[in-house]
Structures are given as structure tokens and as C-alpha cells.
Amino acid sequence: MDPDSLERVRRQVERTFARPTDLRVANGPPEDTLERRRGQYSSTKILRWILTTMASGRRKVLGITDVDLFIPVLTYVFGEAQVKGAAALVSTARLRFTYDERPASPSLVEARLLKECLHELGHTFGLVHCSDHACVMSRSNSVLDVDQKATQFCCDCRQRLWGLMDEERDET
């Protein structure tokens, strides 16, 4: 991903969650997360690895990768997160293409990445999928689903998010 694009995503994440957010480049994912037979990376294994790389003093870690992700029973996943946990992961591998497999414009890819980052981080605060298709927390099984939703939480999810963030702050 273009560093400027990643910086814009970082700023939006920081603004949305009102938490200091920084970018760090990591070398990975490790070899053992690759499933050679499928030519894909295990998102669950990468998530576990990310947790080991988390800098001290940080509450959440979100991995952004361009490798294609899967979980054993599914053909692919866009990302994965620990609900009410510390780690989340987003892949740009499938976000870079249109529904009919043509390359998508950089601005569209950036918009999709931001949505998926907000979505997966939303899970780490405890939000689950929303039935409102326009809400960023609605489940996306295809790039069409991603394009359909807004870069925002619906009113219910936003309120719930604030509550959950307060709870998390109180716990520490």
C-alpha cells in the first residue's frame, strides 16, 4: 500500500476512536502462517503472531497485509478480529479488485481498507455485526458488500461503541 494512503487511514482511525494511533512496519507474516496447498495465509495464525509483536503500552493492534487470508473451513476472509480482544487483521488482497476481477482504483481500495479497519477494530472493542447494511459493522462477504456500506457506524453501533470504550477504560 502507498504510505500516504496508509497515513490517511491512520488519521481516520485515530479520529474515529479518539485514541492515539501510530503506524509501524513489521516484517511478516511468518512462513508458518502460509498454507502452501491453498496458496493462502491462515488469518487465525497471523492474528496470534501479531499479538506477540504488540508494543508495550498499546491497547490494540491492527495488522494490515496484502496476502490473501483464509480460515480452514472458508474459502477466504477479508480479515479477522478478537471480539473484545486486542488484535485484528485486514487483508487488502481482495479489496484491490472489482467484483468482476478488474483492478480497482487506488482511492476505492483506500476507502475499502478504511471501512474494514474500522470494522475489525470495532470488533476488538466488543461490537458484533450489524443488520443495517449501511453501517460499517455490517458483515461483508464480498467487495460489493464493502462498497455498499458507509465509512461510519450507525447510531446504535456508535452509541454501543462509546459505552464499550468507557467500560474498557473503567476496567483499567
The distance of closest approach from Cβ of residue 13 to another protein in the complex, given in angstroms and rounded to an integer, is 18
- Does 120 qualify as catalytic in the annotation? yes
What is the distance between the alpha carbons of residues 145 and 122, in angstroms, rounded to a whole number? 17
What is the distance between the alpha carbons of residues 31 and 168, in angstroms, rounded to a whole number? 34
What is the distance between the alpha carbons of residues 87 and 46, in angstroms, rounded to a whole number? 10
Closest CA to 80 of 38, 54, 117: 117
The distance of closest approach from Cβ of residue 161 to another protein in the complex, given in angstroms and rounded to an integer, is 12
| For another protein, the closer CB: 10 or 85 | 85
C-alpha cell at 113: 481498507
| For another protein, the closer CB: 8 or 168 | 168
| For another protein, the closer CB: 113 or 137 | 137
Spell out the alpha helix ranges (H) of 83-154. 106-125, 143-148
The distance of closest approach from Cβ of residue 125 to another protein in the complex, given in angstroms and rounded to an integer, is 12
What is the distance between the alpha carbons of residues 6 and 14, in angstroms, rounded to a whole number? 12
Q: Which residues contribute to the site for another protein (CB under 8 A)? A: 38, 42-45, 70-77, 80-83, 123, 128-129, 139, 141-142, 160
Find the catalytic residue in 7, 35, 120, 167. 120
Active site residues: 120
